[in-house]
Structure 1
Amino acid sequence: MQDFALKYFRRPQTLLAQAGGDAQKAMASLVQYSKAPIRESLISLSDEDLNRRAVDSFQVLMQFMGDQPKPRGKDEIELLYELLKLCREKENLRDEIYCQAVKQVTGHPRPEFCARGWSLLSLLTGLLPPSTTLMPYVTRFLQDAGRSQELARTCQEHLQRTVKFGGRRRLLPPGEMKAFLQGKMARQLLIYLPGGVGYKTNIGTFTVAAEVLEELCGKMGITEPEEVQEFALFLIKGEGELVRPLRPREYLNDALAAPESSLHSRRLGWETRLHFDNPTYIGAHYSQVQRDYLQGKLLVSAQADAQVARLAALQHVSRPHGAPPSEQDLLAYLPRPLQGQVNMATLRGLVDQELRQLQGRSAQEAQIGFIEAASQLPLFGYTVYVVLRASDPTLPRPSLLGLNRQHLLLMDPSSQTPCRSIALRDLQRLHLLSPLEEDRPPGLELNYGSVDNPQTIWFELPQAQELQYTIAFLLSSSDSSA
């Protein structure tokens, strides 16, 4: 930081007459603790307004750290917000405030006041990086200080994460800010896997979705980056009124700021070969595939008696009991659209045959068998939505819309015939539409095709906003992987 000061700090008049080692020694004092407020900005600033603000910010810094009395009616949280907001709103002052904080923690005689300055640096490094000019000097300062100062090592970690992920988009809310100043930077987070199984993990103030997703996948035995990228964390607010996948670089505490928010993990891509070598992996995949099947999103015909019976028997063996399936059980094993269409007496006979063949199979083996059998059904590997109406009158009502990382596929649920395919790479614009009538669901308009042959289609479906977010997520993830 002394090298930075020699290059970029303004030289006070008292130093201009000095030369050689005396000048260098005097300049070094500019990056060390001062018990008196500064009268000019540390960095040479030509703008008088910025210079005045820099002097004011140093005064606020001293008040926050405890070197000056706090103004009446202001607490430490308000003073901290004042500094951080100034850094965010006036990028030209960001380096100045970084330098002021570094100066005041260097050689400070009061450890408890010095710790306050390190708290500010810890927040700065997690929220807003210094300029590329200052960055190498701050990095070296933190490395040197980290040999004896644990908070400096924390700052290094925050700065590395900020450079990688861009820093938190919002300032910490008051409750989180207060906890941060008290040293409570970690909290427990519950993530729901398919099937409602909860996974508990600890996240910090600056933890991003990619880090938690990687940890979660590790618990399922997934280590290849290509397969990790096929999973996403979904944010659900309230009673499911907003469902969207979190971008890998998204800070979890920003995403979870709204009340009644929860995180759910789901597999979005199915290109990587499945491997059944981990019980958590098997259970999570089974629950997700079974749910899609029972909701009618993995198409199977009512006439495919043997296939329906096989899938029912595998579900029964997957449950931890040895009793024969009841009538209610058999109904629960059927996709919702098929209930009422299947001859139950015929189904029971076929299921009994399948159960005899499955004798000796463990619940886990049955779950694997169910996934493998379901993988042969149309729309397996897609996220499926029910489209109630489309702008193209030739499309059936309702239609099933399958979404994967390559394209959108519209399918007739009755004939299981694909009706339309739109490559994601051809999408130009997504636009959420308000409901056409008061009691109708919203819509999503898609502009796609080439410049020479532009096309437009809209779909009416209850999950229009979720579909919009998921398409945008898949497009951004394919861009980043490319």
Structure 2
Amino acid sequence: MLFILPAALMQFMGDQSKPRGKDELDLLYKLLKLCQEKDLRDEMYCQVIKQITGHPKPEHCARGWSLLSLFTGFFPPSTTLMPYVTKFLQDSGPSQELAQRSQQHLQRTVKYGGRQRLPQPGEIRAFLKGQAVRLIVIHLPGGVDYRTNVQTFTVAGEVLEEMCGQMGITDPQEVQEFALFLIKGEGELVRPLWPHEYLNAVVVNQNISVHSRRLSWETPLHFDHPVYTGTHYAQVLRDYLQGKLMGRAPADTQLAQLAALQHLGRASKSPPSEQDMLDYIPKTLQWQVNMDIIKSLTGQELRQLQGHSPQDAQISFIEAMRQLPLFGYTVYVVLRVSKLVLPGPALLGLNRQHLVLMDPTSQKMCCSIALKDLQRLHLLSPLEPNGAPGLELNYGSADSPQTIWLELPQAQELHHTIIFLLDGSASSAQWFQWPSLS
């Protein structure tokens, strides 16, 4: 293999003629595939640096630098060679822009591990033309879109930190409470992105969208930025209206107060209509309440809340939701649970510490499992035709192992999210490999 490297390198740079029927893209893939073998990487670094040092032809030298800039984003040199490569890039940086980029790419590779899969041909062509910047849209709760430019070696954690900064979030601990999610198609695959994942490696076609939401609520909330307030309100409101925060109807006055806050949050100047009132009550509760009474009480609440701004109303709504038992959890509706006999679906709450199951009728917590006690997760096929898939959880100590299975449509998403919340430790990451998105 060693004798192939110099020839392919010089052919790519234009110092030797290309083989018949081969273009620079073919040669570049050949070089990158060769260097997927760890034993060849140091040789490749040495050959490229040797070839571009003092090269008499600027155009050919620029191709060599492009290759080195790309290579540093995929594969690190050995610890023995690293100081020499770093010194070369630092010495070349003042006069060579691609040396500065190579330094940045190499720093990312050392920190995040480098891109694991080779890019599609279109991305490589854009990189070689200096057109590696790509627009990605991140969809936040409430219909807010955050647009940002990513490059060949941009990782999810960098984009998440940038997005949070635009919402006034500067505490690193709070940034970690948000996550980017990939959604394939209409939801056939939903999974969180690890901070070290390279966005261009996973957002590979138009059938994949990127979303963001808050997963943990441990850091104190601060409503000092309108987008921060609006996205938090939209996320909490969505869970409330889907019936994920309460299972049974509270007092009429509480429902009316929440309806009034929603109406004010819309900045509506007119009284709520019949349709508005339906929109303000969770669908799971509408059959349990007298809508005429709720509408009358809502009118009284609105008169008392005169002078509240839409943002004040949204903050008050969130504060009211914080009193509910499942606030701060990511909530799923579970159709069936082994070991538990419930009159209907249960609500499952998930945060960084534990998983809980609540009977929505009695609002009683039926089960709590610490995530640190989980030993194994296993996806189950539907038990019945057209049924929902399942997730089996093995937990507890070796002396007292326990098993529980859950049946829910979002079993795969729950599976991915549990592993993500385990912080990607070596012990948990080995349980599961993310499925291909192509």
Q: Give the TM-score of the pair, scaled to structure 2.
A: 0.96
Q: In the aligned structure 2, how far is the partner of 1:281 from the partner of 1:184?
A: 33
Residue in structure 2 matched with residue 230 of structure 1 by the alignment: 177
* Partner SS state of residue 347, structure 2: strand
Alignment of 1:316-465 (within 5 A): 316-465=263-412
Could you tell me how far 1:258 is from its partner in structure 2? 4.2
Equivalent position to 2:242, from 295, 298, 308: 295
Spell out, residue by residue over 1:365-405, the C-alpha distance to the aligned partner (whole angstroms, 9 max, x if none).
Answer: 11111111111112000000011112224345311100011
Q: Is the 8 A contact 2:391 2:407 kept in 1?
A: yes
Say if 1:279 and 1:433 are closer, same or farther in 2 by CA, change over 3 A: same
**2:213 pairs with 1:262:** no
Describe the SS at the equivalent of 1:120: helix
Instruction: Name the CA distance, whole Å, in 2 between partners of 1:393 and 1:227.
Output: 35
**Quick one: which of 150, 162, 165 aligns to 1:215?**
162
**Aligned mate of 1:273, from 204, 212, 220:** 220
How far did 1:301 drift? 3.3
Tell me the CA shift for residue 172 of structure 1. Answer: 1.1
Residue type of the alignment partner of 1:188: L
Instruction: Return the letter of the residue paired with 2:257.
Output: R
Q: Is the 8 A contact 1:300 1:308 kept in 2?
A: no
Amino acid at match of 2:4: D
Q: What residue in structure 1 maps to residue 88 of structure 2?
A: 141
Partner SS for 1:411: strand
**Deviation by residue 1:147-192 (Cα, 9 ceiling, x = unmatched):** 2111000000000011011101111111100100000121111111
Establish whether residue 200 from structure 1 lines up as the match of residue 147 from structure 2: yes
SS in structure 2 of the partner of residue 63 of structure 1: helix
Deviation at 1:259, TM superposition (A): 3.9
Shift of 1:254: 1.1
Q: Does 1:86 align with 2:3?
A: no
CA contact (8 A) 2:229 2:311 kept: yes
Note the aligned Cα RMSD (angstroms).
Answer: 1.3
Answer yes or no: is the 8 Å Cα contact 1:387–1:397 preserved in 2.
no
Structure 2: unaligned runs, 5 residues or longer: 428-438
The answer to whether the 8 Å contact 2:52/2:64 transfers is yes
SS of 1:270's partner is coil
Residues 65 and 463 from structure 1, CA distance in 2 versus in 1: closer, same or farther, beyond 3 angstroms?
same
SS at match of 1:62: helix
Q: Distance in 1 between matches of 2:30 and 2:15?
A: 17
Percent identity for Structure 1 against Structure 2: 69
Contact 2:243 2:284 in 1 (8 A): yes
Q: CA deviation at 1:102?
A: 0.5
Structure 1 residues 129 and 396, CA gap change in structure 2 (3 angstroms): farther
1:69 alignment partner, one of 2, 8, 17 = 17
Residue type at the aligned position of 2:390: G
- The question of 1:95 aligning with 2:42 is answered yes
Once the two structures are superposed, residues 324-364 of structure 1 have per-residue CA deviations (whole angstroms, 9 ceiling, x without a partner) of 00010000001110122210111011101110111011111
Q: Highest CA radius of gyration, 1 or 2?
A: 1
CA deviations on 1:39-82 (whole Å, 9 max, x unpaired) are xxxxxxxxxxxxxx211111011110001111111111110000
**Alignment deviations for residues 197-217 of structure 1 (CA, whole Å, 9 cap, x no partner):** 111111111011110110111
Task: Specify the code of the residue in structure 1 equivalent to 2:354.
Answer: H
Q: How many Å separate the matches in 2 of 1:62 and 1:479? A: 41
| In structure 1, distance between residues paired with 2:411 and 2:2 | 48
Give the one of 54, 57, 60 matched to 1:110.
Answer: 57
* Unaligned residue ranges in structure 1 (runs of 5+): 1-52
- The aligned amino acid for 1:426 is D
Cα distance in 2 for residues equivalent to 1:235 and 1:135: 34
Alpha-carbon distance between aligned partners in 1 of 2:70 and 2:328, rounded to the nearest angstrom: 42
Aligned partner of 2:434 in structure 1 is none
Q: Work out the CA distance in 1 between the residues paired with 2:40 and 2:338.
A: 52
- Whole-angstrom CA distance in 2 between matches of 1:245 and 1:75: 38
- Is the CA contact (8 Å cut-off) linking 2:336 and 2:407 kept in structure 1? yes
Structure 1 residues 378, 478: CA separation in 2 closer, same or farther (over 3 Å shift)?
Answer: farther
Q: Which amino acid aligns with 2:148?
A: T
Partner AA of 1:420 in structure 2: C
Alignment partner of 2:136: what SS?
Answer: strand
Scaled by the length of structure 1, the TM-score of the pair is 0.87
Structure 1 counterpart of 2:182, one-letter code: L
Q: Work out the number of aligned pairs and report it.
A: 427
* Residues 267 and 309 in structure 2, CA contact (< 8 A), matched pair in contact too: no
SS in 2 for 1:340: helix
Asked if the contact 2:42–2:77 (Cα under 8 Å) also holds between the matched residues in 1, the reply is yes
Question: 2:84 aligned with 1:169, yes or no?
Answer: no
Which protein has greater RCO, CA pairs closer than 8 Å, 6+ apart?
A: 2
State the secondary structure of the residue aligned to 2:423.
Answer: helix
Question: 1:436–1:442: 8 Å Cα contact kept in structure 2?
Answer: yes
Q: Quick one: which amino acid aligns to residue 170 of structure 2? A: T
Partner of 2:97: 150
Q: Is the 8 A contact 1:406 1:425 kept in 2?
A: yes
**Matched letter for residue 133 of structure 2:** A
Partner of 1:9: none
Question: For residues 238-277 of structure 1, what are the alpha-carbon distances to aligned partners after superposition, in whole Å with 9 as ceiling and x for unaligned?
Answer: 0011111101111111121144111111000001111111
Instruction: Tell me if 1:191 matches 2:138.
Output: yes
Structure 1 position 446, deviation (Å): 0.4
Q: 2:3 aligns with which of 55, 60, 63?
A: 55
